[in-house]
Homo-oligomer: A and B are copies of this chain.
Amino acid sequence: MGKTPPEVDEYIKAHRSDFESELFELLKIPSVSADSRHDSDTARAADWVADQFTRIGFETEQIQTEGHPIVLARSSPIENAPTTMVYGHYDVQPPDPLDEWISPPFEPTVRDGDVYARGATDDKGQMLTHIKSAEAWMNACGSLPVNLIYVIEGEEEVGSENLEKFIVSDPDQLACDCVVISDTSQFGPGQPAITYGLRGIAYYELRLFGPAQDLHSGTFGGAVTNPANALNQILSQLIDTDGKIQVPGFYDEVIPLTTREREGFQALSFSEQRFQDLVGVDATSGESGFSTYERRCARPSFDVNGIWGGYQGEGAKTVLPAKASAKFSFRLVPNQNPKEITKNLEAFLHTLIPPGIRMELVDLHGAPGVVVPLDSPYIEASARAIEHGFGTSPVYIREGGSIPIVTTFASRLGAESLLLGWGQNDDNMHSPNEKFSLADYHRGIRTSACLWAELAHGA
């Protein structure tokens, strides 16, 4: 068991006000990565972050890219200690629509214990907890119990393309045992969460071609295979009415949910009614045998993301379209292999194509799902740190979406990611009046400081 030294906790307690002022300083910088008019602000935010590291003696550099710089910082090497990477980002979403903000987006304002500003939760506030915890260790103890590498990028909100290139170009320099990321949410107030699984994706475009040109549906309907009819027939055969995907072998490699996981999901205060209200539906449907929560994040799914063909204007046009297309995707769970699925899908589609139709299948994007085993020592270390920092055990959740950088960390660095959420679901991330609880900010710093000890000793 690694406990935070009392002097570290003391330092954190004593510097509450400084930590808040510093967060506000960073929040005042409008580092909108998508808007080139803010390029000097984005550079200023990178400088501000780099300065945080140089002040505590970390070897710090700014990696120049085709876009915004990556701040890379390392603590002084300790032999025989594990190495943890902290990933975060200093860039923010554009603040529009401006007139919906109660207080201006780059003038941090505290109301009811929350600080309101663009980037408060995503990701400046959450990211800073891991810098302040290092500062506490360095200033209180003069050293850290683990090796830390910080990778703080400025392009998360615009796709992380240059970070991806940087990692791929020289993965060895980022070698680490695990990656800590605080860019997700708690499950609810007072319910800090460890997101231990993300779904993968296999995304396609299917194009069906029939007659050489659009035909009159009166003169030709019934005689010529209609590609839009065929598209409906084919897509409807990819999934059955029980929500089971029909591509041969699709479920072969799926790791079944464990009893421990399913019990954990059931213990979550997930309300079907609240979920339906949030989404605006009066009922849900999906794979039989699984709860809405499980279907949402821990089971594979099939969605038509877009479909088009023929006449979309007003009124009635009697056309038998020459072609019809759809974009569709499967969400994958560990251990499904997108490449294998593509192969099986393509073969299956060929069996479904009716006479008179030619098909093209475009593989647009594939990424496997990731899951950190619940009995991973990193997960257990994180749980103990959260108990110390928040005074309560974390809940274990999985997310339905993918976080591409997590996939990259897994595939390129072989490192598990610990997704530790300090934010709340209603923090208005990407929306006006983004906020972050200052109490959770301080709890996050305490947790992070404890995590370095736990990872040093327990993991």
Q: Which residues of B contact A236 (CB under 8 A)?
A: 232-233, 235-237
Contact flags (1/0) for A63-98 with B, using CB distance below 8 Å?
Answer: 000000000000000000000000000000000000
With beta carbons under 8 angstroms apart, the residue of B297, B300, B309 that contacts A304 is: B309
Find out whether the CB atom of B223 lies under 8 angstroms from the CB atom of A292: yes
With beta carbons under 8 angstroms apart, the residue of B222, B233, B303 that contacts A400 is: B222
Contact flags (1/0) for A308-331 with B, using CB distance below 8 Å?
Answer: 111111011111110010110101
CA–CA, A231 to B229, complex, Å?
Answer: 11
Find out whether the CB atom of A229 lies under 8 angstroms from the CB atom of B303: yes
Contact flags (1/0) for A280-304 with B, using CB distance below 8 Å?
Answer: 1111111100001101110111111
Find out whether the CB atom of A228 lies under 8 angstroms from the CB atom of B307: yes
Find out whether the CB atom of A329 lies under 8 angstroms from the CB atom of B321: no
Find out whether the CB atom of B222 lies under 8 angstroms from the CB atom of A286: yes
Residue of B nearest to A324 (CB): B307
A338 CB to closest chain B CB (Å) equals 12
Q: Which residues of B contact A315 (CB under 8 A)?
A: 364
Find out whether the CB atom of A239 lies under 8 angstroms from the CB atom of B229: yes
Interface size class, chain A = 35 or more
With beta carbons under 8 angstroms apart, the residue of B224, B229, B399 that contacts A219 is: B399
Find out whether the CB atom of A356 lies under 8 angstroms from the CB atom of B284: yes
Find out whether the CB atom of A356 lies under 8 angstroms from the CB atom of B283: yes
Q: Which residues of B contact A354 (CB under 8 A)?
A: 285
The answer to the question of A448 belonging to the interface, with a C-beta cut-off of 8 Å to chain B, is no
The answer to the question of A226 belonging to the interface, with a C-beta cut-off of 8 Å to chain B, is yes
Contact flags (1/0) for A186-226 with B, using CB distance below 8 Å?
Answer: 00000000000001010100000011110111111111111
With beta carbons under 8 angstroms apart, the residue of B219, B239, B279, B305 that contacts A317 is: B305
A212 CB to closest chain B CB (Å) equals 3
Contact flags (1/0) for A350-378 with B, using CB distance below 8 Å?
Answer: 00001110000000110000000000000
Find out whether the CB atom of A304 lies under 8 angstroms from the CB atom of B401: no
Find out whether the CB atom of B296 lies under 8 angstroms from the CB atom of A220: yes
Q: Which residues of B contact A311 (CB under 8 A)?
A: 305-306, 327
A142 CB to closest chain B CB (Å) equals 43
CA–CA, A228 to B287, complex, Å?
Answer: 17
In the complex with contacts A302-B229, A356-B284, A224-B279 CB distance below 8 A: yes
Find out whether the CB atom of B223 lies under 8 angstroms from the CB atom of A286: yes
With beta carbons under 8 angstroms apart, the residue of B218, B292, B355 that contacts A201 is: B218
Find out whether the CB atom of B318 lies under 8 angstroms from the CB atom of A219: no
Contact flags (1/0) for A26-52 with B, using CB distance below 8 Å?
Answer: 000000000000000000000000000
A251 CB to closest chain B CB (Å) equals 13
Find out whether the CB atom of A327 lies under 8 angstroms from the CB atom of B317: yes
Find out whether the CB atom of A309 lies under 8 angstroms from the CB atom of B307: yes
In the complex with contacts A213-B280, A232-B235, A306-B312, A222-B301 CB distance below 8 A: yes
Contact flags (1/0) for A127-142 with B, using CB distance below 8 Å?
Answer: 0000000000000000
CA–CA, A440 to B111, complex, Å?
Answer: 89
A43 CB to closest chain B CB (Å) equals 29
CA–CA, A281 to B226, complex, Å?
Answer: 11
Find out whether the CB atom of B218 lies under 8 angstroms from the CB atom of A304: no
Find out whether the CB atom of A218 lies under 8 angstroms from the CB atom of B305: no
A230 CB to closest chain B CB (Å) equals 9
A-B contact pairs, 6 of them (CB 8 A): A217-B331, A232-B232, A283-B356, A285-B355, A306-B311, A316-B329
Closest 9 CB pairs of A and B: A212-B280, A218-B401, A222-B301, A283-B355, A306-B310, A223-B296, A228-B304, A306-B311, A236-B236
Residues of A within 8 A of B (CB): 199, 201, 203, 210-213, 215-226, 228-229, 231-233, 235-237, 239, 241, 243, 275, 279-287, 292-293, 295-297, 299-313, 315-321, 324, 326-327, 329, 331, 354-356, 364-365, 399-402
**Sample of 13 more A-B contacts, CB < 8 Å, known A306-B309, A311-B327:** A212-B279, A220-B279, A222-B303, A223-B292, A223-B400, A224-B284, A225-B284, A229-B239, A232-B304, A236-B236, A283-B355, A305-B321, A306-B310
